[in-house]
Each structure stands twice: as C-alpha cells, then as structure tokens.
Amino acid sequence: MGLDFRGYVQVYTGEGKGKTTAALGLALRALGAGLRVAFLQFLKKGEYSEICALRRFEPQVLVRQYHSGGFVRGEPSEEVRRAAVLGWEEARGLLLSGDFQVVILDEANVALSLGLIPLSEVLEALSRRPARVEVVFTGRGAPEALMEMADLVTEMRAVKHYYAQGVRARRGIEY
C-alpha cells in the first residue's frame, strides 16, 4: 500500500464523552484503508468491547493496555507508575520505528497530567517520528505544550448526559 500522506498529531481532550470513541473511529477508518494501527491504552485495563473488536483485526492492529486495573484516585501507586512507564517506552519505540502508520495513545493525556509520562520525552519523540506516522492522544487534561505542538485539537464538552439521571454504563455503548 502506498503511503502518500503526512502524519499529523491529533489531540482529543475535554470533559465530555467521546474522546476514545473518536479515536476508535479513526482506527477503524485506517484499518479499512489497509494501514497498520497501534492502539495503546494507558490507565485502562479490561476486555472492553472496543478491545474485543480491535483484536479481530490482528495482526494489522496492535492492542496494548498499561494499567493494573481500577480507577486512579489521588496519588498513583507505584504499580500504576511502572505500567505507564512501560507503556511509554513501548509507545516511543513504535512512534520512532514507523512500523505503524497510526499510533493511538488512549488516555495518555491523563497519564501526562499525572506526571506518569515525561512530557519532554513525548514532545521530543513526536518531533523525531517518521513523517508518515499519525499520532492520536486522548483523555482529559491535555498539557498545553502538547496542544500547541498538535496539528488538530478537539475539545469534547459535556452538555447533557444520561449518567446524571442514574443510567449506568451499558455494554456495547459505553464499554
């Protein structure tokens, strides 16, 4: 497949729902076009429906999760920190290798905002990646420096959500 495009840096952030969903839509489109996709999740672990779906595209897609499970409240544990460092090390290698045309770093914005991933290393790797690698960052709290470097920034804003009426997350819709 000819790769006749330049890769950009995209950031999906904000308090509203849909950041990971938008990245998954991009992954699906890329897979449909024959591109290789790396989907790396920070601070999430589990066989969510999107993970099950992406695994059907292996080996065209690489799926990894870097977390011990559960929500991070307060100061992240040492186990959470180690998982994030491991994830970033693999992500950096994938970014620089050019083996994947699309690299999605799901919830990396949160990992960055918690100081689990060094922002300076992320910015440096982005500047050194091959020109044909598209990179997507999702999660609340994207650092200002990342948004400045990015080519596309979308902020999801919560306007109305049925969670406020007590509706629980539904399999296949929210997870």
With respect to residue 2, please indicate whether it lies within any of the assigned structural domains: no
With respect to residue 34, please indicate whether it lies within any of the assigned structural domains: yes
The residues near 165 (Cβ < 8 Å, ≥ 6 apart) are none
With respect to residue 18, please indicate whether it lies within any of the assigned structural domains: yes
With respect to residue 4, please indicate whether it lies within any of the assigned structural domains: no
What CATH number is associated with residue 41? 3.40.50.300
What is the rounded average pLDDT of the residues 68-80?
76
Q: pTM of the predicted model, to two decimals?
A: 0.93
User: Which uninterrupted H or E stretch holds 27?
Assistant: helix 19-32
pLDDT, tens digit, 9 for 90 and up, residues 14-49 = 999 999 999 999 999 999 999 999 999 999 888 889
With respect to residue 171, please indicate whether it lies within any of the assigned structural domains: no
With respect to residue 71, please indicate whether it lies within any of the assigned structural domains: yes
Is 70 exceeded by the pLDDT of residue 92?
yes
User: Which uninterrupted H or E stretch holds 159?
Assistant: none
pLDDT at 45: 85
